[in-house]
Structure 1
Amino acid sequence: MGVHMADDTSATGVTREGDTAVRQVLDAAVREGGVPGILAEIRDGGGQWYGTAGAADTDTCRPRGHGDRFRIGSITKTFTATVLLRLVAEGRLTLEDTVERWLPGMVTGNGHDGSAVTVRRLLDHTSGIHSHTNDQPALSRQASYTPGELVAIALSHPADFPAGTGWAYSNTNYVLAGLIVERVTGRGLAEEIADRLVRPLGLTGTSLPLGADPDLPAPHARHYTRLFSPDPGAPVHDATELETSPYWAAGGMISTVSDLTRFLAALLGGELLGPEQQREMLTMVPTADWLPRASYGLGLSRLVLPSGVPVWGMGGALFGSWSYVYGTRDGSRVVAANINADWVRGRWEDPVGLFTDLLEAGLGPAAGGVQSLD
């Protein structure tokens, strides 16, 4: 159960300051935290470093690999928001357009009002639209779901608050954002993500599955889930093959650590959005009952690490897979990581604690991070 380091035959790049601390967290995640396997990559001006620990497959003890594909959950939101902001830059819609304008009659009832919900309020989670993923019984009634069916599940519940008066994380916001992309362009969201982001950046391991395809392309780790139960004795299930239509534009994508660091470095570095759209994406609003010391922009979050260092990026969790990708404000140093589980034990209360330690090691003071002034 070794950790692959930058100076062995399984890694790339050259060991730099902070990489040793990251390696220690990876090792502890498996030895103390009990995760099956973990994978991380650091990208900066000096190149790329990656490390792994533990197993991709607990039956065969096959180790995790640098090229493993995994489900990235809510990091999908950053891709969806970037596509929408590029359409805004092209003048095809504005952030102040309403849902009612683009999806007439879709958002209404139970306190939901599509004429009061703007594109901006979808992307920064201030819409008040209830999240369909809070109704797991409704998501267990059939094999797959259309985006319209997901919206209907959300609207069967009262709105969380009147649009623009609060903050609540809602996956339905991004289902609606994906539908708006399709209405504006006349093309599928998967095509838009592929043509605007995946192909230009050379993200060869990244995709949004079409339809109800449950397959995870090789190479990949097995995805092990306890169904997010905090009980250490909860049974473990294999969720590698997973029908992800309930998550789609909000959480259905697949990627690799190399693709994620490349994408976020390009995004924060100004390669994907013009100055005005990047400023909009990075305009943060306060969050509620979410990550510690977090604020949220348009598909991108800002965390202040316990050391005081601010970082920008996104995390995502889906059954059997938990991922983070965060970097410096200018994208000059980015860290991406994935565990093929949705639990951790030992000194961490949950995977958020584990990833916080990993970000401190890779982006904090020891790695040259600058403390926040706020």
Structure 2
Amino acid sequence: MAALDKLYRWGEVQGLVAEAPFTHRAVWRRGHAGRRGQIATRNDAYERAAKRSDVRFLTLEDYRVFRDVGLRGLTLDGAERPGARDRNGARNALFAELLVTTGLRLEEASSLFAAEVPAGAAAAGRQIWLELPACLTKGERGRRVLLPRRLAQQISAYLAVERAAAVTKFQARGGWGSIDQPIFADGIQPGAVLRLRDGRTVSLDALTPDERARVVLCGDGAPCEPAALWLTEVGQPVRPNSWEAIFARASRRCAEAGAPVRISPHQLRHTFAVHMLAMLIQRRLQEAAAPAGPMDSYRELLGDPLQQVQRLLGHASLATTYVYLDHVASRADTIDAAVEELLALVPTGRPA
């Protein structure tokens, strides 16, 4: 990356390229061995090497407890608990489901537009490929994320009921007046283009997460509504720091119910990575029963699952994804399934 950065900088000086494709920012670097700290320039495409200790994932049972007890306000046995149910519990649980089934980062998931989730495909019972704009993703690389069929249907229900009710309150209260520097637009055109009220158009790839939270749609004389997918009870976009507070409150509720789990949104990304990698490896173990050469078997068992998870998570380097492999062994069901599959491949000897 550093070599490419220097190459493009040289190309700019020589007039071979109009501009370098990398962006930079100033970071504070702490001094060592008595040296003073200093401000340094850092390439935004830099991705810190992952360490095993960085990964914190949940068992699926712990996640279920957090979702049902912490976010939905139910009891440990799944019953309704009078007076403790969160008014936005269904929305909050749906947001958690999005994180744990797609591996989206918090800022990516919280900055989606409602129009970016095609409702028709969900109604038809199909899975949805969700296109993440470049400005939402780390390193501005953009990527595609697959929404499971059940999740797509749940989001469609949220759009039709809970979000629609929030939009009605937003319009009745003139909620756009509570948005700092709102960006009014007529609508989103085919090709992922936002059409502003003054006639200009802006690519969705160019909108930052902060700008996305300020977009208000008022097209064709219709009452204004936020473009954001996730809205508060009165129709204001839910910001990333609000989700952090929601998860912290849900963790406290779990502890009060006798299930001490502390969960952050980013842990659900780790949870997706570990469990998805484990399931893909299980599938490769099953497929490995077919005759294949040793290199083909290795590619089937490790190469494809790692690369698939790398693409889903949007990692620039496979080494970043590889760290999750260390945690797959801690999934007891994966170990059991792997042993059973391997035993099935061992030829049965004839009794002497």
Which TM-score applies when normalising by structure 1?
0.26
Q: Which structure has more strand as a fraction of its residues? A: 1
Normalised TM-score (structure 2): 0.27
Greater fraction of residues in helix: 2
Larger radius of gyration: 2
